Structure formats: C-alpha cells, structure tokens
Structure 1
Amino acid sequence: MPVTDTQAMISGMTPALQPGRWVFCTMAEPVGLADAFALIREAEGITLILPFEVAKAEGQNVSVVMSLITLEVFSDLEGIGLTAAVSTALASAGISCNVVAAYHHDHIFVGETDAERAVEVLKDLQKEASKS
C-alpha cells in the first residue's frame, strides 16, 4: 500500500545504494534501450539513463558518472514532501542530486564520489523523521 504521510515516507524511506555506474545521455535516436534505467522524452531530444559501460560503448559523454540510491519506501505518487526533504538534506550537505520518481519508488542519482556520504545523509534524515 502506498504511503502518503510525509513523515511516514521520510521515516520509512530506507535509502539503498544500488550497484553500477550511470550516465545521463541525450541522443536523437535512442540506443541501449534494453539496458536503460529510464527514457525521458523532452522537446530538445531523448534523455536516457544508461549504465556507464553501455554509454561509453555508444560514444556518449561519460564525464559525469552517477550512483543510484533507491528509496525503498513505496511512496504514493500524490505524496507530498519526500522529494523536497531528500533534495534539501543533500543540498545542505553540498551534494547535487537528480531525482527520478517511478510508480513504486523514488530513485536518487548522485555523483559517484558522493554516493556513500549521500546514503549517510539520507539515513540521518530517516532517523530524525523516525523520532518525530
């Protein structure tokens, strides 16, 4: 059952660092679809989030390598505040993030070198929310 209460979403988010390295790419004709984490259509073109090795093999710019953190709470699509709380906590720690919300979970992409620290920041946020 999806969680809608903001405090419950944050206290139950359980951030989990996923394996792999990811790259955001843009292209006119998408390649690597079978391996893509996401495909997003924008007016300017198609954005794919691809595994590092797939993007590199396709000649994409791989200078910004990301790690993926999945918030394991089943957050409601109409839930309010989870993205704001997560992005604010990471921003306060000086960590850039890109959020991709899906049906079951929210997924946070952070720079590969910030991944472990980002998980700790999110776990601290979760602990604080659990106290309330």
Structure 2
Amino acid sequence: MSGETDLQKLLAGMQPALCGRDWGYALAAAPPAGVTAFATVAEEEGLTLIAPMAQLLAAGLAPQGPMARITLTIHSALQAVGLTAAVSGALAQAGISANMIAGFHHDHIFLPAEDADRAMAVLQGLSDA
C-alpha cells in the first residue's frame, strides 16, 4: 500500500486524532534509559527526543512542552504534495504553532497543548471544506 497522493482526498479523509497532550521535546547525547521516544532527530547540536513529558523529566532532561500530538490518520504517501502546507497554513491562520513530522504511513503535528482543541476544530473545518 503506497498511500494517498491526491490532496483533496487527503484533506477530506485526514481524520485528525488527538493522541495526548503530554509530549515534550528535549536534547540528549543519546536516548536515556526509561525514555521511549516517539521520534528522534539527530542534529549537530545533539539528539532531539520527542517523548512523554514525564519520561523526559524522570530522565533528568529539561523538556519544552507540554505539546499535544495530532495524527492525521489517513495513509498519506511520502511523495504527496500540499498536505503539510495546507495543514500548517490553516493552523498558522488560526495563530497555532505546528511542528510537522511525517512517518511512513501518517503525518503528525506537535503543537502547544493548550491549543489542541482549537487545532482539532481548525483541522476538522479544513477536512469538511
């Protein structure tokens, strides 16, 4: 299954799901014991970990957050054009910060936890349009 590439189908079928409001971003030299990262990004300055806030704090890290995670549950193709721009643009219009991460099957949005409900409404409106 290669995923959907048609932007209109992606938007209509994205079915955003709120997957918690307790995520954090932290830097580490390596993933500490007890931290199950949702995602990692290796940069010259260090390893960015995106994981539950409680795990990051328990590991002695100084996370930024809390962040909410919204998953677009449609299987989007990695070569799909316009989904990230449409979603981040709609959230930007509403004054909501969006950090997008593409997985093999789904796109994920990390945003300030206090904006989660508004973001869900914005995304549902975009999907219904």
TM range (shorter): over 0.9
Give the TM-score taking structure 2 as reference length: 0.93
The aligned runs of 1:8-19 (5 Å cut-off) are 8-19=9-20
Q: State the superposition RMSD in angstroms.
A: 1.4
The aligned runs of 1:61-72 (5 Å cut-off) are 61-72=62-73
Deviation, 1:32, is 4.5
Deviations 1:42-71 (A, max 9, x none): 122111101010011112223421010000
**For residue 80 of structure 1, what is the aligned residue in structure 2?**
81
The verdict on how the C-alpha distance between 1:78 and 1:55 changes in structure 2, with shifts beyond 3 A counting, is same
* Over 4 Å off, 4+ runs: none
Matched, 1:30 2:31: yes
Q: Which runs of 5+ in 1 are unaligned?
A: none
Does the 8 Å CA contact 1:32/1:54 hold for their aligned counterparts? Answer: no
User: Number of residues paired by the alignment?
Assistant: 128
The aligned runs of 1:89-104 (5 Å cut-off) are 89-104=90-105
Q: Which runs of 5+ in 2 are unaligned?
A: none
| Percent of aligned pairs sharing the same letter | 46
Deviation, 1:14, is 0.6
**For residue 116 of structure 2, what is the aligned residue in structure 1?**
115
Deviation, 1:33, is 6.8
**For residue 53 of structure 1, what is the aligned residue in structure 2?**
54
